[in-house]
Amino acid sequence: MITTLFQLAWVFLKIGACSFGGGIVMIPMIEQEVVNNYAWLTKTEFIDAVTLGQITPGPVIISGTFIGYKACGILGAIVATASVILPSFIMICLATEMIKKFRENKILANFLRGARIAVIGMVFDAGVSIGRGSLVDTKTVLIAVASIICLFKYKLNPIWVLLGAGIVGLIWSG
């Protein structure tokens, strides 16, 4: 159990430190670690974890709480959540102090620019990866396409899209 806690802390610290650009970016990283490497969750459970993270208020990384809970109970949930927040917490506090210097450093700016593009690649990766698990028949594909159109073209608030998908799911599953 102690080993699992340390593994959880390590994985989520790593994820917290590498997720330039927001919560969704973390999804492929999390999946690779918790499903493929450590097998704390099955693929289906992982997709459900991400889904739950989306429908609760607050940031997406709250999926980490779910994963931590699945891996190691409440203690695991606390460790995972704290670890995923910690890196950005420290960096933000330090950067606030020296924001001027921070923004004028060209090397750092270029590094971050490159890193951000890498991160976009991984977001696509997350879409493909999650899609392989969740798009199992015509109706799920239809839902995914519809939500892309609503979000990308009409810029709807995600919460409405999720709510709609939930209602459709409720009707379809009878």
Partner 1 sequence: MTPTDKTTIDNEKLKEQAERLYLQGLHAFAGSANTSDVESMKRAAGLWQQSWKLYLKAGDTERAKDLKKSLAVLYKKEYVKANKNKKTHVSLAGKFKDWVMFFKIGCFGFGGPMAVFTLLEDELVRKKKILTNQDFLEGAVLGDVLPGPVTMDIVTYTGYKLKKWTGALIATLVFILPSFVLMIFLAMAYDKYSLTPKIAGVLQCLGAAVTGLILSVAMKLTKAEMKDYRELCILIWAFASSLIFKVDIVVIVGLCGLVGIVVYSNEPEERNK
Residues 35-94 that bind partner 1 (CB under 8 A): 36, 47-48, 50-63, 65-66, 69-70, 74, 77, 81, 84-85, 87-89, 91-93
For 133, other C-beta atoms within 10 Å of its C-beta total 16
Q: At what angle do helices 158-172 and 43-55 cross, to 10 degrees?
A: 130
Residue 143 in contact with partner 1, rule: CB under 8 A: yes
Among 1, 101, 103, 105, binds partner 1 (CB under 8 A): 103
Among 4, 38, 75, 125, binds partner 1 (CB under 8 A): 125
Q: Which of residues 144-173 bind partner 1 (CB under 8 A)?
A: 144-148, 150-152, 157-159, 161-162, 164-166, 168-170, 172-173
Among 8, 9, 15, 72, binds partner 1 (CB under 8 A): 15
Structure-derived torsion over alpha carbons of residues 161, 41, 127, 24, reported in degrees to the nearest 10: 70
Please give the full DSSP string across 137-166, using - where no structure is assigned: SHHHHHHHHHHHIIIIIS---HHHHHHHHH
Task: Please work out the total of residues on this chain that contact partner 1, with binding judged by CB under 8 A.
Answer: 108
Residue 101 in contact with partner 1, rule: CB under 8 A: no
Question: How many whole angstroms separate alpha carbon 43 and alpha carbon 54?
Answer: 17
Among 8, 9, 72, 122, binds partner 1 (CB under 8 A): 122
Q: Contact at 8 Å (CB) between 39 and 59?
A: no
